Amino acid sequence: MHARLGMDEPISRRDFLNGALLAGAGLLLYRQAPTISPADAFNGYGGIGDYSRSNGNTWDVLSAGHALRDGAFEQRVADAADTGEMYDLVAVGGGISGLAAAIFFQKYKGGRALVIDNHPIFGGEAKRNEFLVDGQRLTAHQASAIFLVPQKRGYTDRFYEMIGMDRSAFNYQTWRGPSPEMPLAHSPYETPRNYGFYFGPQFGQRPGGGGGVWVMDPWGRKLEGAPISDVARAELLRWGTDRVAFPGPQTEGDAISRQLDSITLEDHLMARYNISRETVRTFLSPVEGGGYGLGPDVLSAYCNYAIETQFPEDGDAELGDQMFPDGNGGFARLMVKTLIPDAFAGPRTVNAVWQNRVNFRALDRAGQSTRLRLNATVVRVAHAGDPASASHVVVTYAKGNRLYRVKARSVVVAGGSWTAKHIVHDLPASHRAAYAQFYRSPCLMANIAVRNWRFLYKMGLSGCRWFGGLGDYLSVRKMALDRGAGEPGTRAAARHVVRAVRARVSRAAGGHVRAGRVRSAPGHRGNHS
């Protein structure tokens, strides 16, 4: 069964999403391939609500990005239509960074700001998906999921205050119904108590017979029954359960962080846990690196320590990872509400901003201090004349088939290095050389709504991992309840989203399918998700 399902085959986003689309269409059409535009074929189903047309990098976003990379706009930049606008700040990219730039600017300086993003909605990696399944609205994050509880009055906490983040932790669903309670995690990155490893046919089980081996509570039972060698078992246990002391970096740029940055994460894991390269590649690649779209064989070892080093004060060992119902898209929504109060109806609270729809018409209105322009790919950021004396910067963007330009007294490029290196015209040679070392790596995340998760309950698991093939983990989570749990819609949505099961599919360079988590919480080992 494993082989028949093609679990070991590499798969692209197009194949994956298109397969689902065609499977549906195939019910209606016999012999005749459905006519699907390249955009629809690539995008797949986007769900409902504010994000229905923004499920990841859609065809339009990708096409504009590729045209930018290939220099297709070069000849046309000079002919861009001048909108006549002059801003004190233009932020390129409407993810958490670009929105934060605008928030800091408005708080500490003030003026006219424009945030430009190439997607149909703001948020960048911090977006949600919504689905209507059997009349229930399910919500899940697209990429960025969890946050760490910030220390009171620390830097992050002060930022939360600035954006109206009115709590540091959420309440989560409680168990209801007659069946004995199964403890569930409240984020996809925790290892719940009912946890299993699945070892498929590649570990010597009956080929094609569906005869994989489940090892429940793998750490507690010391991988008993796992179809792997004693050496591999011992190594995996060392990684999974030994608290190997390691004097990590204290500050970014200190001797340890520089040393870590000079080796791969794979070499570091091998040395730290005394394990083989094969063990890293067979069992740890997705979890230790895949969220970056790459494996530890090419990632810097510093990746594993960067976040804790930069924000040492964040993370509460008791409260653990916290999560908006829709992941960190909740932050993006609060930030936009802070910048543009009419963007959502109601007060600037987590509840209102999470539940109320985006008022897209309010985002880019003339006269307001901050405007947010969507579906616009910035193709050039260049000083008007000599960078040393230029009075302003010209920002040119593509929207539809046309190019436009605006002027700005300052620009923050917060779109990511993959476009920054193409669009910033006056980049110093040192920066150009540094950017040349960055690569864009695809990472496909797929939310799969599951109608009935009782088969998992019957198996006694609410989370599991497998090694190789499509995706690498599954987790059933309790959803955060907002304060107004009695409000219409909230209860129903919260009660059923527990069925949402998340699978990651990432296609790493080199043809391996890998996936995994991105960050680890201080106080926790980051590798048990």
The least CB distance from residue 303 to ligand FAD, in Å, is 12
The least CB distance from residue 428 to ligand FAD, in Å, is 19
The least CB distance from residue 372 to ligand FAD, in Å, is 11
The set of residues, in sequence order, having a beta carbon less than 8 Å from that of 27 and lying 6+ positions away, is none
Determine the Cα–Cα distance for residues 174 and 146; give it in Å rounded to an integer: 19
CB closer to ligand FAD, 143 vs 479: 143
Q: Which residue has the tokens 């703001």?
A: 122
CB closer to ligand FAD, 280 vs 445: 445
From 522, 502, 525, select the one nearest 143 (Cα to Cα).
502
The least CB distance from residue 100 to ligand FAD, in Å, is 8
Which structure tokens are listed for 123? 């948020």
CB closer to ligand FAD, 99 vs 270: 99
The least CB distance from residue 93 to ligand FAD, in Å, is 3
CB closer to ligand FAD, 2 vs 337: 337
Beta strands in 45-127 (DSSP E): 81-87, 89-92, 113-116
The least CB distance from residue 470 to ligand FAD, in Å, is 16
Determine the Cα–Cα distance for residues 447 and 327; give it in Å rounded to an integer: 13
CB closer to ligand FAD, 95 vs 526: 95
The pairing of beta strand 370-373 with beta strand 113-116: parallel
CB closer to ligand FAD, 117 vs 266: 117
Which structure tokens are listed for 199? 């070892």
The least CB distance from residue 116 to ligand FAD, in Å, is 5
CB closer to ligand FAD, 187 vs 349: 187
CB closer to ligand FAD, 60 vs 125: 125
From 266, 303, 264, select the one nearest 285 (Cα to Cα).
266
The least CB distance from residue 255 to ligand FAD, in Å, is 26
The set of residues, in sequence order, having a beta carbon less than 8 Å from that of 212 and lying 6+ positions away, is 2, 198, 199, 200, 201, 203, 205, 466
Written as one string, the DSSP assignment of 137-203 is EEEEESS---EEPPPTTSHHHHHHHHTT---SS-EE----SSSPP---BSSTTS--SSEEEEE-GGG
CB closer to ligand FAD, 273 vs 302: 302
Helices 265-273 and 230-241 pack at an angle, to 10 degrees, of 100
Q: Which residue has the tokens 């609270």?
A: 349
Which structure tokens are listed for 305? 């320590």
Determine the Cα–Cα distance for residues 285 and 153; give it in Å rounded to an integer: 37
Which structure tokens are listed for 226? 């796992």
CB closer to ligand FAD, 80 vs 236: 80
From 187, 28, 174, 78, select the one nearest 517 (Cα to Cα).
187
CB closer to ligand FAD, 223 vs 382: 382
The least CB distance from residue 81 to ligand FAD, in Å, is 17
The least CB distance from residue 477 to ligand FAD, in Å, is 12
Which structure tokens are listed for 511? 């043809």
Which secondary-structure segment (H or E) carries 324?
none
The least CB distance from residue 314 to ligand FAD, in Å, is 10
Which structure tokens are listed for 51? 């994000």
Name residue 112's amino acid: R
Which secondary-structure segment (H or E) carries 391?
none
3-state secondary structure of 19: helix
Determine the Cα–Cα distance for residues 469 and 79; give it in Å rounded to an integer: 49
Determine the Cα–Cα distance for residues 7 and 202; give it in Å rounded to an integer: 11
Residues that bind ligand FAD (CB under 6 A): 92-98, 116-119, 124-126, 143-147, 291, 328, 377-378, 414-416, 419, 423, 443, 445, 518-519
The least CB distance from residue 300 to ligand FAD, in Å, is 16
CB closer to ligand FAD, 94 vs 240: 94
Which structure tokens are listed for 285? 């690649």
